[in-house]
Amino acid sequence: MKTLTAVSALAIAVSGMATAQDLPQAENEWFVSGQERLAEELAKQPNTNRALNIILMISDGNGVGTNYASRLFAGQQEGGFGDEYVQPQEAFPNLALVKTYNVNAQTPDSAGTGTAMMAGIKTKAGIIGVNENVNRGDCSTLPGNTVSSMNELMSEMGKETGIVSTARITHATPASAYAKTVDRNFEASVPEGCDTQTDIATQLIEAMRSGMIDVAMGGGMRNFHGDEGGRREDGVNLMDVAQSELGAHLATDQASFENTPLDGTPILGLFESSHMMYEADREDEPSLADMTGAAIQALQAKSGDNGFFLQVEAGRVDHANHGGNLARAVRDQKAFSDAVAIADELTDDADTLIIVTADHEHALAFNGYCGRGSDILGLCMGIDGEGVAHTGEPELGADNKPFTVAGYLNGAGSVLTEQADGSFFGTRPALTEEAATDLDYLQQAVVPKSSETHSGEDVAAYAKGPWAHLVDGTIEQNMIFHIMNYAATAE
């Protein structure tokens, strides 16, 4: 079978574009924008430089559906219809769909997905930095079954590494950078008799002591001390250890964050007892973009010509989805997109690979048929057959009540409520646009659950920089590690 050379393929494409200009729709704005995008695609050239720096940015729970909701929200906040808006990562030139299941779970959890991206293997749900031979919670199965993370490998190559999260820094995704544990819940202690591992918080401090982790910022202060509000039972204050023994700068609020030295000094940021605040409620603590920018500058200052690796997580997109509160989920995703923009601005495409992805999706779904500009958090408004914007009149269900654009298949917003006899019954309450767009509104759901669940569908991965063209097609989640590792070591 004959193949086209790049030159002949381009010649044919240009010829086709010339022919397209003769079509009656050639002046239509959509036709013109399609031709412009085609030209951009034809001009793409793969970057095969070795990656000096690698940044993996994970929006926890931001699957394709949540990403769609966040796109509309961001665009509508700027006065547009929303669908046409482009988030920073959506402008990246390379894209893949990612299969997220764990080896024992069709619907994944963040421990297994974090290990897949950070160590290159799929493993079981609930375990971190170990392979599938480990039984969750059984410390005796740990020896011989640990795996190496990207942070370890990059540190061994002489690079500086860091982690940033709006979740507890000992939570599943950030812990996948440094921890080996038979249970993701061993954040501040391990069960009596478990002598094969230490708790996750201790493992972080030891990773900083070894020089493997240079920057760690997020929530989770309670796991580092045993004073009032703390979870440690061993009497050790790991924050004191970080400061007195490691010479780390400890940041616990906005002021101490702003005073963080970005000169290579180890940084430990613990801004909340548990998770950091949702972006909608944030006060006296840095944004994800703030932390991302500071981490990059600190790692750049220390790494010099050796480069760095950084994992960034927007952990609270996931938590807002679990709560059935889409209004906070999309605001945290907008904050994540701002962090993506900062990471892109502070680095050079020529030597920095940035991959933006999610670990899993949620049970979020969308109704129809909604007219353009229907508030993604509000009611599904009718389609105007004579114009572009929606009619302003809500679509109605068979119960003669309006419904929102988005809802969840399960969760705390279920229309079913438990009766005195233990049975469930319910009808949908009547909704107004004002009620549906309130920050605290819980989207209507079907199956009643106290916490909405993850779902198993694919997520997207966006990439730019050296070897980003390998992020392509439909891939297993562990492939992300292999692309990053190859980019850092390619000859």
Residues in binding site for Zn(2+): 60, 318, 322, 359-360, 454
The position carrying tokens 């031709």 is 35
Specify the pairing of strand 352-357 against strand 459-464. antiparallel
Helix, strand, coil content of the chain in percent (nearest 5): 35, 20, 45
CA atoms of 63 and 55, how far apart (whole Å): 19
CA atoms of 290 and 258, how far apart (whole Å): 9
The position carrying tokens 């939570």 is 171
Active site residue 455: no
CA atoms of 20 and 255, how far apart (whole Å): 58
* Residue 118 near residue 176, CB atoms below 8 Å: yes
Q: How far is CA 258 from CA 207, 264, 290, 354, in A?
A: 24, 15, 9, 26
User: Taking Cα atoms as reference points, which of 102, 16, 25, 96 lies closest to residue 64?
Assistant: 96
CA atoms of 96 and 82, how far apart (whole Å): 23
Q: What angle do CA 39, 44, 490 make, to 5 degrees?
A: 175
Structure tokens at 453: 């669940």
Active-site residue (options: 59, 70, 110, 337):
110
Burial (CB count within 10 angstroms: exposed 0-12, middle 13-18, buried 19+), residue 269:
buried
CA atoms of 36 and 26, how far apart (whole Å): 12
Sign of the torsion angle spanned by Cα atoms 173, 177, 180, 186: negative
Known binding positions: 60, 171, 173, 313, 318, 322, 359-360, 454
The β-bridge partners of 267 are 215, 249
Known binding positions for Mg(2+): 60, 171, 173, 313
CA atoms of 236 and 224, how far apart (whole Å): 8
Backbone angles phi, psi at 60, to 5 degrees: -65, 120
Q: What is the 3-state secondary structure (H, E, C) of 214-254?
A: CEEEEECHHHHCCCCCCCCCCCCCHHHHHHHCCCCEEECCH
Q: What residue ranges in 63-208 does DSSP mark as E strands? A: 94-99, 160-168
User: Taking Cα atoms as reference points, which of 310, 278, 369 lies closest to residue 55?
Assistant: 310
Q: Where are the alpha helices (DSSP H) in 44-123?
A: 64-77, 110-119
Kindly list the catalytic residues: 110
